Structure 1
Amino acid sequence: MMKILSTKISLKTKLLAFLTFLTFCSPTLAQNQATWIWYPGDFEVWLSNKMQNRRTERGSFFPPFWKLDSHYNLVDFHKDFDLLIAEEVLLAVEGQFNVKIDGKAITGFPKKITVPAGKHKVSLKVFCQDRVPAIFVQGKKVVSDASWLVTFEDKEWIDETGKASDQSGTNWLKAGFWNFNSALTPPSKFKLETKIQQAVKTERKAQSLLLDFGKETFGFIKLQGLKGKGKLKIYYGESKEEALATETCETLDEIEVNEAKKKDITMELSKAFRFVNVQFEAGVSLDEVSMLYEFLPVADRGGFRCSDEQINKIYDVSNYTFHLNTREFFIDGIKRDRWIWSGDAYQSYLMNYYLLFDSPSVTRTLLALRGKDPVTSHINTIMDYTFYWFIGINDYYQYTGDKTFIQQFYPRMQSLMDYCLSRRNNNGMMEGLTGDWVFIDWAEGLSKKGEVSFEQLLLARSLETMATCANIVNDTKNEVKYKQLATELKAKLFTNYWNNEKHALVHSRVDGKQTENVTRYANMFAIFFNYLDEAQKQDVKKHVLLNDKIQKITTPYMRFYELEALCALGEQNYVLKEMKDYWGGMLNLGATSFWEEYNPNKKGDEHYAMYGRPFGKSLCHAWGASPIYLLGKYFLGVKPTSAAYKTYLVEPQLGGLEWIEGKVPTPDGDVKVYCSSKQIKVTGAAGVGTLRFKSKIKPNSKDGEIKALTNDLYELTLEKGNTYEVFYEL
């Protein structure tokens, strides 16, 4: 039977919830701000284990397919301080601990210590198995923050005289944190926020209630005025059809009611739904049903509006879809899996940079996916998903400029890359081995045999990422190694897969020979990876991307990349039409969030089926929200050209729209863009930007010097905080 939670909320619980919310509103730590700290990556691993093991399938526990790692259960923390005066310091700890000043242990488990004036080392050693060992230290200057050093093995030893070695070869890292900035909000107490929501429509019968919450949503069903004795069942549905299909709906709850007086209860596990079908036996009565909507409190920084109301609606529904799937981590979909899939998450990172710019959500997800050494399989067991993990780090650095993350976790990058390189075949190519899932996409009849060109291309990009990161950590030897491997593999890619007659990369090689099949995947990635020369790009556009004879893509997952490649080729007009047909097609069928897969040729309930189950398809899938990224990067045209937007490009493209406007977040302010066929207006953010545009006439601006690059191509330099208005003719 499903456990239930009482809805009575104590004042302490409300305070904890409020303080937890405040932690999300503070992306950086103020000076001398204490925060809970832990071994970097451990909280993320622990939290992901909790989240990913909440999945149920018709009431049964459904664990992940892959290995789950654990946090280190014994962690050493320390920092050196130089104090002018002695200060009293408060301690809060998750687990058993000892605390030392200058190596001398203090008796017991003190909640307060006094650190004398002068130079002193404060150390805590913490053991905890059920939670992540974590500390909160609060004095005036003695505070726990990201500058503390931590290790899971201190490698100390004691000689025959009793003298300690202090340390011997210990690898110390800077502490991990996520702005849990109060002793009352330890990491183990973390929960997402909730707020009460009511159904927009209720159909009541003698022993049932059918509720419509108006749109796809996520949270805890709350039963109000429950009384009597007997069974109560709840059937959840992303569609009305699913909620009514009591034998085949994907999720359900069942409870045994034994209440002499009316009582309000809330279900223990949150679920995805729009419709809820509540059925109860004759001995049970129920007044009302509502829900607690569960969400991560992160605010939008990006935005988009244009002259086409359908595109505005597509953007808004993409935004809502993305928020629903932005939870403890970026997850794939809210109904079925609720797991962290690297391919899905990679697209969420990109959407995030154009909507939320919430770096902690990116790093939490990257760390949860990577887990710990030793590496025994690909991430999620999927070869391509391992490569997306590497490429995600490359993009994270380009958008945020965060070198600290790379410096901390470069060893985990190396060990994962070593695993990948060890699984190449005799030709130096990736080929699926026992235990490898070569995914690519959900596509009927798509071959995964042999050396698939798509996998080699992703590995090449991953090696380029490793070279970039090796440079950041000053690992010169391996920087050279990774660059050389990437160059060699890119050469093999074109030697082995490019077919002049087909004007494209073929899909695979089997037994050392090219197959005849041409698919879109490697070809479209090669465009925005900039692996093709201009002639090859035009060949691919004509013979692959705009060729209806090539197998079409039906998942938003790969439509994301297909439309990105076309945007990179300047085909925004075509992309706009495709966006209206594809995402607009879902809206025309009543979608309130975007789906895992959409095929316009399907009819009726066929749209809900997937994986051999009538309601197996997710109707709220993160990869369905890609218009956020496409409209921000390729219509507003804002993208970094060096790390953290120190330099960036603004290249607005109307794509057939009368006007567009919006903003794109950067680490230091937002780039604001308005563009019509006669006027461009841009406000610069951090770094130095370049506005690039075409004009039939000589453009003019009072706000800066316009430089002509060709007869119709112009540029204008953008300084931080300044607004530039250009008059031109498209």
Structure 2
Amino acid sequence: MNTGLQNLKFKIQNLKWAISFIAFLSLCQTALAQKAEWVWYPGDYEIWLSNQMQNRRTERGVFFPVFWKIDNHYPLIDFHKVFELTEPEEVEIYVQGQYNVKLDGKAFEGYPRKITVPAGKHKINIKVFNQAQVPAIFVRGKKIVSDSTWLVTFEDKEWIDETGKTSDVSTTKWMNAGMWNFYDPKQLPSDFKLPVKPAEAATSTKESGGTLIDFGKETFGYIKLHNLKGRGKLAIYYGESREEALDTAHTETYDKLNIDQTGGDYTVDLSKAFRFVNIIADAGISFDKASMLYEYADLQDKGGFKCNDEEINKIYDVAKYTFHLSTKEFFIDGIKRDRWVWSGDAYQSYLMNYYLTNDNGTVKRTTLSLRGKDPVTSHINTIMDYTLYWFLGVYDYYLYSGDAAFVKDNYDRMKSLMAYVLGRRNKDGLLEGLPGDWVFIDWAEGLSKQGAVSFEQLLFARSLETMALVADLVQEKEDAGMYAGLAKDVKKKLFDLYWNEQKQAIVHSYVNGKPTDHVTRYANMFAIFFDYLSDAQKKNIKNTVLLNNSVPPITTPYMRFYEMEALCALGEQNYVTKEMKSYWGGMLKLGATSFWEEYNPKKSGAEHYAMYGRKYGKSLCHAWGASPLYLLGKYYLGVKPTGAGYSTYTIEPALGGLKWMEGKVPTPAGNIELYCSTNNIKVSSPVGTGKLVLKSKKAPSSKEGSFVNKGNNVYELTLEKDKKYEIKYQAL
């Protein structure tokens, strides 16, 4: 009897658990069904937001806007989607702008906040006008929700004839809606601001008639004055260095305020970059202390690196901090001066991102904001090479993320931009600067930009190869063939016209129908990691260019990035380790807490802060200074995708003189983890099919798999996902 009761109770408990579980699943399904988000025309919000950000720049109290063409969002957008319902449902509608709502072509009166949609198949149209902000909608029902599957257009090409018949709209270009994690109807996209958190100063001292505040390291945000009292003038002079903050006649940025306060806290309106602030106030003004609100992009580190060399660890950590400081709504160049979206700077940030935060959203926003609208009337940022970097960035994004949809959605934008580039070739089919073009390459004294520069042809060829790859991805076979043919032609001209057999190098330029005999590092190092050279040519260039002190040295982290990459691609990690410690370590020895826009070891003292003819014009926190993140991830840990989204990848660890290293490289499915010493490797991956490539004095061994001997002390092991491997070997 008791046993029977116990069995009955057990069955009832199981039944209750099953009912609860079913109810839980139903709630989950409902929650998932209600996952609506704000949506807009793709690229429009990104353009609008970048306009807001880039036009916040000031220099010594003067508004300092960008000097290239900036585009605007489309003010009138049509949103629609077809739904099929098994039962009627009530739908909430939130809109930024004036709007109308149609169901199956029939308009509702006024500005409805809720509509009821009957059971059956129905088409909802919402047309929105907003000149000041981006037209956006948030629609929420049980099944009817706004998301990226909605279709949008800026011209529906619809008209009605005299009989009332609606026109053919087959020529309307519809796009999938854009979005960015705005899941609350009250969280208006136009109200977006980066988060802030309070931070205290390290020291505060009275100096030169003011209060000098030191926050201990380079930082970015809003100065906050506590218990501010009095009436009069107060000035805040910002400095990335102590010298800059105290030199009130030359500091790059300041705030001059008229104060009328009886107490309470006061926060300045505009965020700035600084380590030091010098506060000078009229005699009748007082405050208890100054702190700050640190402004940041809330991105979490997924990748990481650590080794036995503490100096390398410090360089990695400061590179990581530099990257985070230079990541805002978009990837920007630096935090003090410009705070603009420069394509060359952004391209390097993309690569660093893939090995640290692996945030697709910031890459896509930056890519879209740089591209802007058609028609194309100038190069991106007015710089020829920056347009070409943009193409490379699109394909790299696909390779690291596997996000084919984004690439396909932007193929038309790629085509029209490339059409502009092709239209600016000279009679030889090469790119050279035309009126209005800025050929940048690098900040380097005396660097000639005359004629058709070989570096531009390198980027041009790679951009055309990118176009061929993307055209093939979107099944535009004729386009793919055309771009591949153009790329082949540019590469042939590159070596026919620029390769100097005597110098065993690519010369710098082709002027008035003749190659010059001047050799620079730029084209030569890019040709190495683009894999455009034979093994013999690579070896010769290493000696005649990269390791040749008579070739003008590079003094910006921007191009040191690529110089170190070329040397790593040649297997010179031991040399790169020394250079990293000398160059980036050199900045640390001078007290840098973030890496600079330019570093020349020959300068001394406050000379390091000068640039652009200004005493403190140089940025002491510049995105392109953070390249060790990429170098250590790709060429030391040795992890790189070979198929989209790491469907295939290689791991080719190189210690570069280190005794051991360990780290994580983020992928769309999680982290690849690696530990490597001179005789032991541990590796695991959650994604794709990998290939571990090792150089070992003798055949490596692993209980988890078998190595294939490729000759010359090179061995390969196939890696399966979700499997841990431990390998014994002897490093060369």
TM more than 0.5 = yes
Match of 2:464 in 1: 463
What is the CA distance between 1:720 and its match in structure 2? 1.1
Match of 2:197 in 1: 195
Structure 2 residue 684 is the aligned partner of structure 1 residue 680: no
Separation in 1 of the partners of 2:562 and 2:699?
35
Tell me the secondary structure at the aligned position of residue 350 of structure 2.
Answer: helix
Match of 2:176 in 1: 174
What is the CA distance between 1:642 and its match in structure 2? 1.1
C-alpha offsets along residues 36-63 of structure 1, whole Å, 9 cap, x if unaligned?
Answer: 0000000000000000000000110000
What is the CA distance between 1:163 and its match in structure 2? 2.7
1:120 equivalent among 119, 122, 128: 122
RMSD over aligned CA atoms reads 1.1
1:214 equivalent among 216, 234, 249: 216
Partners of 1:154 and 1:168 within 8 A in 2? no
What is the CA distance between 1:542 and its match in structure 2? 0.6
Match of 1:41 in 2: 43
Structure 2 residue 419 is the aligned partner of structure 1 residue 430: no
Separation in 1 of the partners of 2:715 and 2:34?
48
Separation in 2 of the partners of 1:354 and 1:620?
20
Match of 1:560 in 2: 561
Separation in 1 of the partners of 2:399 and 2:634?
14
Tell me the secondary structure at the aligned position of residue 132 of structure 2.
Answer: coil
Separation in 1 of the partners of 2:177 and 2:147?
7
C-alpha offsets along residues 667-723 of structure 1, whole Å, 9 cap, x if unaligned?
Answer: 111100100001011011210011110111222111112222225211111111111
Aligned residue-pair number: 701
What is the CA distance between 1:168 and its match in structure 2? 4.1
> Which segments of 5 or more consecutive residues in structure 2 lack a partner in the other structure?
1-30
What is the CA distance between 1:76 and its match in structure 2? 0.3
Structure 2 residue 673 is the aligned partner of structure 1 residue 642: no
Match of 1:698 in 2: 699
- List 4+ stretches of structure 1 deviating above 6 A: none
1:249 equivalent among 241, 248, 251: 251
Partners of 1:692 and 1:716 within 8 A in 2? yes
Match of 1:152 in 2: 154
Tell me the secondary structure at the aligned position of residue 52 of structure 2.
Answer: helix
What is the CA distance between 1:166 and its match in structure 2? 6.2
Separation in 2 of the partners of 1:601 and 1:415?
45
Match of 1:104 in 2: 106
What is the CA distance between 1:473 and its match in structure 2? 1.4
Separation in 1 of the partners of 2:579 and 2:393?
26
Match of 1:454 in 2: 455
Moved more, 690-699 or 666-675: 690-699
Separation in 2 of the partners of 1:544 and 1:168?
57
Matched residues, percent identical?
65
Separation in 1 of the partners of 2:491 and 2:582?
35
Match of 2:534 in 1: 533
Match of 1:307 in 2: 308
Match of 2:724 in 1: 723
Moved more, 690-699 or 606-615: 690-699
Match of 2:349 in 1: 348
User: Where in structure 2 are the equivalents of 1:350-499 lying within 5 Å?
Assistant: 350-499=351-500
Change (3 A) 1:300 1:705: same
C-alpha offsets along residues 409-438 of structure 1, whole Å, 9 cap, x if unaligned?
Answer: 111111111111111010101110100000
- For residue 197 of structure 2, what is the amino acid of its counterpart? K
What is the CA distance between 1:263 and its match in structure 2? 2.6
Match of 1:575 in 2: 576
C-alpha offsets along residues 191-239 of structure 1, whole Å, 9 cap, x if unaligned?
Answer: 0000000101011369622100010000001111111111000000000
Match of 1:60 in 2: 62
Partners of 2:699 and 2:715 within 8 A in 1? no
What is the CA distance between 1:30 and its match in structure 2? 5.7
Partners of 1:207 and 1:282 within 8 A in 2? no
Tell me the secondary structure at the aligned position of residue 430 of structure 2.
Answer: coil
Match of 1:204 in 2: 206
Separation in 1 of the partners of 2:348 and 2:51?
22
Partners of 2:385 and 2:441 within 8 A in 1? yes
What is the CA distance between 1:165 and its match in structure 2? 2.5
- For residue 480 of structure 2, what is the amino acid of its counterpart? E
Separation in 2 of the partners of 1:683 and 1:129?
52
Moved more, 598-607 or 398-407: 398-407
C-alpha offsets along residues 447-490 of structure 1, whole Å, 9 cap, x if unaligned?
Answer: 00001000011000000011111111111111111000000010
Moved more, 405-414 or 43-52: 405-414
Separation in 2 of the partners of 1:654 and 1:728?
13
Change (3 A) 1:678 1:144: same
Separation in 2 of the partners of 1:535 and 1:135?
59
Change (3 A) 1:679 1:206: closer
Change (3 A) 1:30 1:393: farther
Tell me the secondary structure at the aligned position of residue 320 of structure 1.
Answer: helix
Partners of 1:156 and 1:168 within 8 A in 2? no
2:137 equivalent among 135, 138, 148: 135
Match of 1:6 in 2: none
- For residue 178 of structure 1, what is the amino acid of its counterpart? W
Change (3 A) 1:503 1:566: same
Match of 2:509 in 1: 508
Partners of 1:652 and 1:675 within 8 A in 2? yes
Tell me the secondary structure at the aligned position of residue 215 of structure 2.
Answer: strand
Match of 1:617 in 2: 618
Separation in 2 of the partners of 1:30 and 1:574?
53
Separation in 2 of the partners of 1:206 and 1:693?
60
Partners of 2:525 and 2:562 within 8 A in 1? yes
Match of 2:21 in 1: none
Change (3 A) 1:163 1:485: same
Partners of 2:639 and 2:649 within 8 A in 1? yes
Partners of 1:563 and 1:575 within 8 A in 2? yes
C-alpha offsets along residues 226-283 of structure 1, whole Å, 9 cap, x if unaligned?
Answer: 1111100000000000000100000000110112x21311111100000000110012
Change (3 A) 1:711 1:428: closer
Match of 1:77 in 2: 79
Match of 1:26 in 2: none
Tell me the secondary structure at the aligned position of residue 315 of structure 1.
Answer: helix
Match of 1:95 in 2: 97
Match of 2:318 in 1: 317
- For residue 326 of structure 1, what is the amino acid of its counterpart? T
Could you tell me the TM-score, scaled by structure 2's length? 0.95
Match of 2:23 in 1: none
Separation in 2 of the partners of 1:32 and 1:580?
53
Separation in 2 of the partners of 1:224 and 1:635?
48
Change (3 A) 1:242 1:710: same
Change (3 A) 1:206 1:520: closer
Change (3 A) 1:205 1:482: closer
> Which segments of 5 or more consecutive residues in structure 1 lack a partner in the other structure?
1-28
- For residue 248 of structure 1, what is the amino acid of its counterpart? H
C-alpha offsets along residues 114-163 of structure 1, whole Å, 9 cap, x if unaligned?
Answer: 11111111110000011100000111110000000000000001011223
Separation in 1 of the partners of 2:473 and 2:127?
31
Separation in 1 of the partners of 2:587 and 2:165?
71
Separation in 2 of the partners of 1:206 and 1:455?
50
Separation in 1 of the partners of 2:34 and 2:727?
46
- For residue 139 of structure 2, what is the amino acid of its counterpart? V
Partners of 1:609 and 1:616 within 8 A in 2? yes
Separation in 1 of the partners of 2:566 and 2:67?
32
